[in-house]
Structure 1
């Protein structure tokens, strides 16, 4: 046997990694059934969900061929205050106006199409940033009872700090004034609350706090914005843990229970 033949005969068979695993080549890369892959989870909005229209971008979408012409909009879902980019029905755009409240129906005659993705606050357009404050003012006034209930029932976080102190502009003095007044008699509406506690402006305080919670994803306490865990679907559903339990053994924190109540 020549030196050349001996060299090739000593190599042995090629390893699986060199040849390529036939099972791997047949299966190919994993694919997401929901579309978009792990990095781009599919989002959807349940029928009956209420959203407020923040901005309309008539040429902001991208179709399957890559043409930027599909109309889209930016909306805010309530009562969780999550932000979405949603496709629009071209035939219904003329019927829409900013700050409009729309119910998701899933029907073909609906002005809203399929939601494309969830948005962060810094992804909002300039028009959306101008509109969102007006929308929040509208929502807070329309849902006055929800926020009055918060003021009447919210309790302490720890021995040294109260949830009222999380609200913008509320320090110890103003907090004590609110607590003393509500102890004598619960508040019935914003006007009465402001009359009895002149230093507290309900509408402005709640709007500012909601915007703070939208802007900062690292806040320790969320009073109104519902921050979903990464494994949650954007519809609001939480996958059941593999062990069959409701919470996977996770203890419910006081902050979690507070969001459920308000």
Structure 2
């Protein structure tokens, strides 16, 4: 299922997402509310399965939202100069340049090229926002009496989870290198997060999603 969107992102509609309680005026005046997506594939002549004449098809791109990893099919302005790996503004509307509209899509909707680029794009977002993702190790909380957010990460069982919790009591982690040095047995803390984000994107039916925004 896709959600057509012509306003703010990364949420599936203007009324969804982590800024749902803000007024339109607040969103427009806050420069930090500008939402970006990373281009995974550029289709200058639209989708191959679109049977309309070429002159009636708009250039498209598949893109990954930087804030909560939603996937989008983006309609580009005719004169947009974008390439794979570029950042484009998808919201708010008045801040856009290259993008004229977009809709949320699922992992299965991606082109082969977008699929191949997805892991690289996730890794770059995580690297560029290291403290945000290091803070997951600092701030992760129990989900139920038996399940902790840390246990959602690939390869992290009870023993490794307890090692992380013990170490963060001694002081917050400051970098991925700090996590790796202090937590015995956790050798690739950044890659573990990337793997989990990929899993959340690929499996739309996962019960718990920590990093990827859901449709509302």
> Per the shorter chain, which TM-score range?
0.7 to 0.9
Q: Say if 2:6 and 2:93, in contact at 8 Å, map to a contact too.
A: no
Q: How far apart, in 2, do the equivalents of 1:41 and 1:188 lie?
A: 37
After superposition, the C-alpha distances for 1:89-143 in whole angstroms (9 at most, x for unaligned) are: 23233xx22111122364698222221x321101111111111111111111111
Deviation, 1:58, is 1.4
Paired residue secondary structure (1:92): coil
Q: Find the structure with the greater CA-based Rg.
A: 1
Q: Tell me, what secondary structure is at the counterpart of 1:148?
A: helix
> What is the aligned counterpart of 2:178 among 177, 192, 195?
192
Residue equivalent to 2:136: 150
Q: CA RMSD in A?
A: 2.5
Q: Using the TM superposition, give the Cα deviation of residue 170 of structure 1 relative to its aligned residue in structure 2, in angstroms.
A: 0.6
Number of matched pairs: 187
Q: How does 1:32-111 map to 2 (within 5 A)?
A: 42-46=4-8, 48-61=34-47, 66-68=52-54, 69-93=57-81, 96-104=82-90, 106=93, 110-111=97-98
Mapped partners of 2:97, 2:171: distance in 1: 46
Please report the TM-score for the alignment, with normalisation by the length of structure 1: 0.65
Gaps of 5+ in 1: 1-38, 230-262
Q: 1:81 to 1:182 in 2, by over 3 A?
A: same
Task: Give me the whole-angstrom Cα distance separating, in 2, the residues matched to 1:196 and 1:108.
Answer: 42
- The structure-2 alpha-carbon separation of the partners of 1:222 and 1:50, relative to structure 1 and needing over 3 Å to count, comes to same
More strand by proportion, 1 or 2?
A: 2
Indicate which of 206, 212, 218 corresponds to 2:205. Answer: 218
Structure 2, unpaired ranges of 5+: 9-27, 29-33
